[in-house]
Structure 1
Amino acid sequence: MLDKTEFQPTEEKTNLIIKGSVKLFDVYKIPIDRLRYNAQNGRIATWISEYENEHGDLPTDQEQFNATIEGYIYDAGPDTLNATKNNIEKFGQQEAAVVLSNGILVDGNRRFTALRRLSREGKGQQFNYINAVLLPDQDYTTKEIKTLELNLQHAKEEPVDYSPVDRLVDTYRDLIGPNKSFEPKEYAREIDSTEKKVKDEMRVVQLLVDYLDYIHHPGQFFVARQQKLDGPLREVDKILKSRKLAPEDYQDAKDILFASMVSMTGDVTRKVRGMSSTILNPHTLHHLADELDDTLNDIEDSFSGDRIAESSSDATAAVIDVPKRVTDNLVNIVDQTVDREKMKNAEKRPLQDTSKALDLLRNIDSKALEHCSDGDKKQISTLLLGLDKQIQKITSELNVK
């Protein structure tokens, strides 16, 4: 346990919002070897998930634990970490961290990482210490500490540099998971957002949870990070929340979209977006569901092996090990259906444009024409002559008997 009497106070003081009010706290100079990373830090949520999947529980030895987390903090944002490290080396620590009396950092993991590295490199004794507020952990609930963390993150002018998927996982922990601490309304207040935006984000998070269940990897959030699923999931959400999708078609649409995310390569976000009109057309959706029935079953069967393989084209991107013949078949069927839908839409476009043009002409107010200037009337007359010529041209091309 850390006690304020052990450490040298600095001349710095800082304000924190805690327990609903602003308080002024002293800042102390604390040896970095007394501190421990916060394993619940949202910035590395998927990395922790990956470690626990491969190795089980995190190390209990403090230095092994810190070394493991340090590696993940670096991997999550090496450029940002190096910039922080260079800045601290040149100008010193400019912003105080926040530490609990049990040694866990509430805020300042990146500063702590930079100091650890500078200390190991022998850059100077001053880097063996971190300037931090010290809070007695017994005085605050887990929710109060998390609220403080949210306030510190969202009070900064620059956005927190989470990966998109790590941010989703942090939202899952706070609002959906078994140990959730917040309701949407209060969470929105703490992050200076709206309840609607928070609920929209929760819907995407639930899709992430559902997708991992679909591929038989529940809770293994690192898969989503490796597959870069934030963009595709948001496109899936836009489709599934559409009023054009009948409730009875929801599950078929969801299964087809999830299977497509497993099977597609390249710009999956763009490809899922391109499926929107096909999925939202009941006729084409039902046709696609019938065409893909056996393929979807094959994909589901492949998940039972519970395997994650590395893509041969990109060793950093994990893919679910579905036989290529199966994914190729799904992609071909989806592409053909989407292309047919695009062709039909293109065929209907002239009729739609002509109808719109007629509606616009009908909406012209004849009384308003009376008040137009002579110059405007001449321009309108010229445009109508051009319009008449275009109508005659289109009529001749139609060749209607």
Structure 2
Amino acid sequence: MPYKIQITAPVTRAATIASKVVASTEKREFYGFRNRVHHLPFIQVPIDLPVYRMENFRTFTDQRDYIAEHGKKADYFLAGTESEEVQQAQHQLLHRLALKGKADSVIPVAEVLEAEGQRQPLLITAGGIVVNGNRRLAALRELYDQGSKFAHFSHIDVLVLPADATAEDIVDIEANLQAVPETKLDYDWIGEAQLISRLVNLGRTPKVVADQLRRKEKDIKYAIQTLAEADLYLKEAPGTQGNYSEIREDAEQLFGDLPKLLEGKSEAMKEASRAIAWSLYQNKGRLEGRLYDYNAAIGSLADNVLDRVADELGIVTEVEEDADGDGEADDFAIDIGDELQSANFAGVIAALRSPDNEAAIEALIEAVQTEIQLDKGQKSGGAALKAIQQAHTKLASVDMSRAEKSTVGKISKQLDAIKRIVADLEDKILKHKR
């Protein structure tokens, strides 16, 4: 049976701590509070007295998963500091973390405490909330619950923050401790990004946050953008349960790359590119190589990929009218064999997001693999030939017998533009032969 949480009333907690602080004759240095050294009271308190801090970025991902799995309200943890049920849930999450090492090179916290006992005091507020050492407290409680062998854990060592420590101070303490290299053990990328986001939401610039965490400013911006793309995926992508655990292990690079891949695109094309990215991520096991290898299919080649999928599925992509509204293209609005800049890919997006999307996914995978290979060829000496071959293939596939009468005029203008391009290319060929 796990350790059973029993909460001491907040007033009683605070009074107990205050009386021990007054009686304390020992203080220890602490450097993470308000950017200067403080000498904090060192005391011992009963092991059942402190309560876990709920705004804990180390357990953020696990908290979100717990909420989704158990159908709890979004603020279940944040609003549950004084709830024994919520404290019990947080205890289980923390103890699970305490049993984990990292990459087989860090001994789990629980094992260290079992072998060596408590070597460092926990850090608590004047009200008994644990600011640093939540995992250690969970591990100590489980050991104490095993019986007489660990009876000496009935009381634990703590340092006590001043009574005027604010919520912002506490977030800063976690950030400052996270910035110390030897303590950066087990924040997953989502929890770390949430911490960064919290600091920025306190009104600090990315530069200020970067200095605080001893990072580069670009890394802070990257984390914020990555988290925004991840949140959007979990909110809107079909087939997800909205749990951060779905993306904890292998999605950081994809969501981190997306902002740059989407840069300069219209909102419609951003949506289309995300549809490609999300579909590839959900079907990454069917791809050759790494997902990263297909970045171009999400970015610069997205139009080509979507056009191929539309052709394969028989989806019509309507071309938008020109900005002047006269329905006439200025010159060569459609770049044959390359991009359909003004195409509407809503039908393709809908197909990819449909529950019955197997045909669309197969078409997408084939399209991205084809375009990636073609792009590699374009970067070689055969680029011009490949482009001409693609244009020829597209033109040869045109069936004028099925063209709507309303499009004939526009088709004629496009063919005139093609003739001018062909003439220009032929002139260049003659010069090339000389």
Q: Aligned-pair distance for 1:210?
A: 1.7
Counterpart code for 2:304: T
SS of equivalent residue, structure 1 residue 26: strand
Question: Is the contact between residue 42 and residue 162 of structure 1 (CA under 8 Å) also seen in structure 2?
Answer: yes
Counterpart code for 2:260: K
Instruction: Report the Cα distance in structure 2 between the residues aligned to 1:183 and 1:47, rounded to whole angstroms.
Output: 28
Counterpart code for 2:157: N
Q: Which residue of 2 aligns with 1:104?
A: 129
Give the direction of change, closer, same or farther, for the CA distance of 1:277–1:17 in structure 2 (3 Å limit).
Answer: closer
Match of 1:276 among 262, 278, 295: 295
Q: Which residue of 1 aligns with 2:87?
A: 66
Give the direction of change, closer, same or farther, for the CA distance of 1:258–1:282 in structure 2 (3 Å limit).
Answer: closer
Q: Aligned-pair distance for 1:19?
A: 2.0
Instruction: Report the Cα distance in structure 2 between the residues aligned to 1:268 and 1:24, rounded to whole angstroms.
Output: 57
Could you report, residue by residue, the CA deviation over 1:279-321 in whole angstroms, capped at 9, with x for unpaired residues? 3126514515745744532555x6xxxxxxxxxxxxxxxxxxx
Q: Which residue of 2 aligns with 1:334?
A: 364
SS of equivalent residue, structure 2 residue 159: strand
Counterpart code for 2:361: V
Give the direction of change, closer, same or farther, for the CA distance of 1:155–1:237 in structure 2 (3 Å limit).
Answer: closer
Could you report, residue by residue, the CA deviation over 1:365-386 in whole angstroms, capped at 9, with x for unpaired residues? xxxxxxxxxxxxxxxxxxxxxx
SS of equivalent residue, structure 1 residue 14: strand
Q: Aligned-pair distance for 1:267?
A: 8.2
Question: Is the contact between residue 126 and residue 161 of structure 2 (CA under 8 Å) also seen in structure 1?
Answer: yes
Could you report, residue by residue, the CA deviation over 1:235-258 in whole angstroms, capped at 9, with x for unpaired residues? 243254148864463332123212
Residue 140 of structure 2 is aligned to residue 125 of structure 1: no
Give the direction of change, closer, same or farther, for the CA distance of 1:267–1:332 in structure 2 (3 Å limit).
Answer: closer
Instruction: Report the Cα distance in structure 2 between the residues aligned to 1:131 and 1:207, rounded to whole angstroms.
Output: 42
Q: Which residue of 1 aligns with 2:321?
A: none
Q: Equivalent pairs: percent with the same residue?
A: 19
Give the direction of change, closer, same or farther, for the CA distance of 1:232–1:152 in structure 2 (3 Å limit).
Answer: closer
Match of 1:232 among 241, 251, 264: 251
Q: Aligned-pair distance for 1:12?
A: 6.3
Question: Is the contact between residue 274 and residue 338 of structure 1 (CA under 8 Å) also seen in structure 2?
Answer: no
Q: Aligned-pair distance for 1:84?
A: 1.7
Could you report, residue by residue, the CA deviation over 1:75-103 in whole angstroms, capped at 9, with x for unpaired residues? 34632397322222322212221101222
Residue 19 of structure 2 is aligned to residue 34 of structure 1: no
Counterpart code for 2:137: F
Counterpart code for 2:371: E
Instruction: Report the Cα distance in structure 1 between the residues aligned to 2:262 and 2:208, rounded to whole angstroms.
Output: 28
Q: Which residue of 2 aligns with 1:314?
A: none
Instruction: Report the Cα distance in structure 2 between the residues aligned to 1:284 and 1:274, rounded to whole angstroms.
Output: 17
Q: Which residue of 1 aligns with 2:168?
A: 143
Match of 1:75 among 93, 96, 103: 96
- 1:1-400 → structure 2 map (5 Å cutoff): 1-2=13-14, 3-6=17-20, 9=24, 13-53=28-68, 54-56=71-73, 57-58=76-77, 62-76=83-97, 78-80=99-101, 83-122=108-147, 123-137=149-163, 139-175=164-200, 180=202, 182-215=204-237, 223-225=243-245, 227-229=246-248, 231-242=250-261, 246-247=265-266, 249-261=269-281, 263-266=282-285, 271-279=290-298, 280-281=300-301, 283-288=303-308, 290=310, 293-294=346-347, 296-298=349-351, 300=353, 323=355, 325-326=356-357, 328-348=358-378, 351=381
Aligned length: 323
Question: Is the contact between residue 257 and residue 272 of structure 1 (CA under 8 Å) also seen in structure 2?
Answer: no
Considering fraction of residues, name the structure with more helix.
1
Counterpart code for 1:186: V
Could you report, residue by residue, the CA deviation over 1:150-202 in whole angstroms, capped at 9, with x for unpaired residues? 112222424230223333333344435xxx46432222122111222111111
Counterpart code for 2:182: E
Q: Aligned-pair distance for 1:141?
A: 2.0
Question: Is the contact between residue 54 and residue 81 of structure 2 (CA under 8 Å) also seen in structure 1?
Answer: no
Could you report, residue by residue, the CA deviation over 1:341-380 in whole angstroms, capped at 9, with x for unpaired residues? 2332454565279xxxxxxxxxxxxxxxxxxxxxxxxxxx
Question: Is the contact between residue 14 and residue 25 of structure 1 (CA under 8 Å) also seen in structure 2?
Answer: yes
Question: Is the contact between residue 207 and residue 233 of structure 1 (CA under 8 Å) also seen in structure 2?
Answer: no
RMSD: 3.4
Could you report, residue by residue, the CA deviation over 1:14-38 in whole angstroms, capped at 9, with x for unpaired residues? 3233223221223211212111111
Counterpart code for 1:126: H
Counterpart code for 1:103: G
Could you report, residue by residue, the CA deviation over 1:194-238 in whole angstroms, capped at 9, with x for unpaired residues? 2221111111011112212323899x86x132x235633422432
SS of equivalent residue, structure 1 residue 22: strand
SS of equivalent residue, structure 1 residue 42: coil
Bigger mean CA offset, 104-113 vs 49-58: 49-58
Counterpart code for 2:256: D
Instruction: Report the Cα distance in structure 2 between the residues aligned to 1:345 and 1:5, rounded to whole angstroms.
Output: 72
Give the direction of change, closer, same or farther, for the CA distance of 1:195–1:35 in structure 2 (3 Å limit).
Answer: same
Question: Is the contact between residue 305 and residue 364 of structure 2 (CA under 8 Å) also seen in structure 1?
Answer: no
Counterpart code for 1:34: L
